[in-house]
A and B are shown apart, each in its own frame.
Chain A
Amino acid sequence: MHSALVYTCILCMLSLGCSIPVPSDTLKNMVKLQAETINSRIQEHNEKLKLSPKLLIGDPELYPEVPADKPIQGLASIVDTLTIFQKVLHSLPKGHVSQLHTDVSTLQGYLVDRMSSMRCPLRKTANEKSLEAFLKDNATHHITVGYMALDRLQKFMQQLTVSLDQLKTC
Chain B
Amino acid sequence: MMSLFISLTLLVNFSIISQGLATLSPSDGSGGVYEDLKWTAQLCCQVPLDQIVRSQLAATSGLLGQCQLINHTKPESSRKSHPLSGKCFDISCLFEGERANLICNAKSHGAALPAVSPQQLVLEMGLLSNETNHTTQCAGEDTATCSISLHGNDAIVSLSISLYVNGTTAMSPKMQINTYDLRTPEPPVNLHYNVTTEGEVIFRWSYTQPDSCEVRYSTNSSRHQCEVVKIKGRSWVHLNELNSGIRYTVQVRCQNSFNYWSEWSQPFYFTLDVSYIPAEVFSTPGSDVTLYAVFHNRSWSASNAVWMLNGQVKIPESQYRVINERVSAVTLQATSPGFDSLMCCHPWGERFKCTIAYAKMYTEGMFNADITCQSKNSKVDTMTCEWNKSAWAEVRFLYRQYKSMCEDVLKMDNNEDAEEFSASVKECPYGAGDHRECTLSNLSLFSCYKIWLEVEGGRGKVRSLPVYVAPIDYVKPSPPSDLEAITLPNKTLNVRWGRPPLPVYDMQYELRFSALRGMANMHWEVIGPFLEPQAEIFLEESCVQYKVEVRCKRLNGSGFWSNWSKSRSSVVYNRKAPEKGPDFWRIIQEDPVRNVSNVTLILQPVEAGDPNSCAEGLVIVHHAAGGVVWSNETSLVPFYSFLWRRETHTVSVMSRNSLGVSTWNSNITLLHQPKRRSVRSFSMAANASCVHLSWTLLSDQPMPQSFVIEWLDLNEDPEQNRSSTERTQWVRVQPNARDLCLCRRFYGSEKFTLCPVFVDGEGESVQCTATRGDPAAYMLLMIIMFLSIVLFITLMMSQNQMKKLMWKNIPNPYNCSWAKGMDFRQIETMENLFLHPEGLTACPLLLVSERICEVEIIDKPQTLECGKDNTKRTSTSSPLLGDSSEPLSLEASASATPETSGQSSVMYSTILLSDRPGLLRKQQESLSSSRDEGNFSANNSDISGSFPGGLWDLENHVCSDSGNPRHSSLYNSVEELSETSEYEASESTGGGKDLYYLAVNEKEEEKDEESESEEAQDERDENEEFQLCKGEIVMKADTKRQSEGNNYTSIDSNTTSHSIPLYLPQFQTESINPP
User: Which of A's residues lie within 8 Å of B, judged by CB?
Assistant: 45, 48-52, 54-59, 61-65, 93-98, 129-130, 133-134, 137-138, 140-146, 148
Contacts and interface: CB of A to CB of B under 8 A. Distances in A.
Given A57-B356, A137-B270, A95 B351 contact: no
Interface in B307-325: 308, 311-314
Interface stretch (B428-436, B641-649, B727-735): B428-436
A54 B392 contact: no
Interface string B325-364: 0000000000000000101010010111111111010000
Contact of B431 (A48, A61, A94): A94
Interface string B721-744: 000000000000000000000000
A144 B353 contact: no
A62 B434 CA distance: 25
Given A55-B345, A137-B270, A138-B356, A50 B391 contact: yes
Given A95-B433, A142-B394, A130 B355 contact: no
Contacts of B897: none
B71 to A, nearest CB: 50
Contacts of B279: 140
Nearest to A65: B247
Give 5 closest A-B pairs by Cβ, nearest first: A95-B433, A133-B269, A95-B434, A144-B356, A93-B433
A148 B356 contact: yes
Contacts of B355: 57-58, 62, 144
Interface residues of B, number: 41
A146 B350 CA distance: 24
Interface in B964-1021: none
Nearest to B273: A62
B356 to A, nearest CB: 4
B354 A97 contact: no
Nearest to B279: A140
B594 to A, nearest CB: 31
B917 interface: no
A49 B269 contact: no
Contacts, number: 108
23 contacts: A45-B434, A48-B391, A49-B391, A51-B311, A51-B312, A52-B312, A52-B314, A56-B351, A56-B353, A58-B355, A62-B245, A62-B271, A64-B247, A65-B247, A94-B433, A97-B433, A97-B434, A98-B433, A133-B268, A140-B458, A143-B358, A144-B356, A144-B357
B271, B273, B308, B357 interface centre (most CB from chain A within 10 Å) = B271
A145 B348 contact: no
Contacts of A51: 311-312
A122 B1040 CA distance: 123
Given A93-B433, A95-B435, A143-B341, A54 B356 contact: no
B15 to A, nearest CB: 62
Interface in B235-285: 245, 247, 267-271, 273, 279-280
A158 B491 CA distance: 57
Contacts of B434: 45, 48, 93, 95-97, 143, 146
B311 A49 contact: yes
Interface in B347-396: 348, 350-358, 360, 391-392, 394
B433 A56 contact: no
B77 interface: no
A148 B353 CA distance: 13
Which of B312, B343, B355 is packed against the most chain A CB atoms within 10 Å?
B355
Given A96-B435, A137-B270, A52 B247 contact: no
A61 B271 CA distance: 13
A44 to B, nearest CB: 12
B369 to A, nearest CB: 15
B687 interface: no
A55 B351 contact: yes
A54 B350 contact: yes
B924 to A, nearest CB: 89
B391 A130 contact: no
Interface in B946-977: none
A140 B279 CA distance: 10
A51 to B, nearest CB: 4
B663 interface: no
B391 A145 contact: no
Contact of A55 (B247, B308, B391, B392): B308
A129 B267 CA distance: 10
A17 B715 CA distance: 61
A11 B191 CA distance: 63
A63 B272 CA distance: 11
A130 B269 contact: yes
A58 B267 CA distance: 24
A141 B356 contact: yes
A97 B391 CA distance: 13
B558 interface: no
Contacts of A61: 245
Nearest to A98: B433
A134 B269 contact: yes
A95 B397 CA distance: 12
A141, A145, A148 interface centre (most CB from chain B within 10 Å)? A141
B220 interface: yes
Nearest to A66: B356
Given A52-B312, A56-B348, A96-B435, 9 more contacts: A51-B311, A52-B311, A55-B308, A62-B355, A65-B247, A93-B433, A137-B271, A138-B356, A144-B356
Nearest to A48: B391
Contacts of B430: 94
Contacts of A52: 308, 311-314, 352
A59 B433 contact: no
A57 B354 contact: yes
A86 to B, nearest CB: 17
B340 to A, nearest CB: 12
A141 B626 CA distance: 83
A145 B431 contact: no
B278 to A, nearest CB: 12
Nearest to A57: B354
Interface in B426-445: 430-436
A134 B279 CA distance: 17
Nearest to B347: A54
Question: Which of B268, B352, B357, B434 has the largest count of A CB atoms less than 10 A from its CB?
Answer: B434
Nearest to A62: B245
Nearest to A95: B433
A58 B356 contact: yes
A145 B352 contact: no
A96 B760 CA distance: 71
B352 A55 contact: yes
A141 B358 contact: yes
A55 B245 contact: no
A146 to B, nearest CB: 8
A130 B219 CA distance: 11
A119 to B, nearest CB: 33
A146 B314 CA distance: 22
Contacts of B345: 55
Nearest to A54: B351
B361 to A, nearest CB: 13
A144 to B, nearest CB: 4
A93 B433 CA distance: 6
Nearest to A144: B356
Nearest to A64: B247
A145 B434 CA distance: 13
Contacts of B280: 140
Contacts of B357: 138, 141, 144
Nearest to B436: A48
Contacts of B391: 48-50, 143
Contacts of B247: 64-65, 130, 133-134
A58 to B, nearest CB: 6
Contacts of A45: 434
Contacts of B269: 129-130, 133-134, 137
Interface in B894-944: none
B16 to A, nearest CB: 60
Nearest to B314: A52
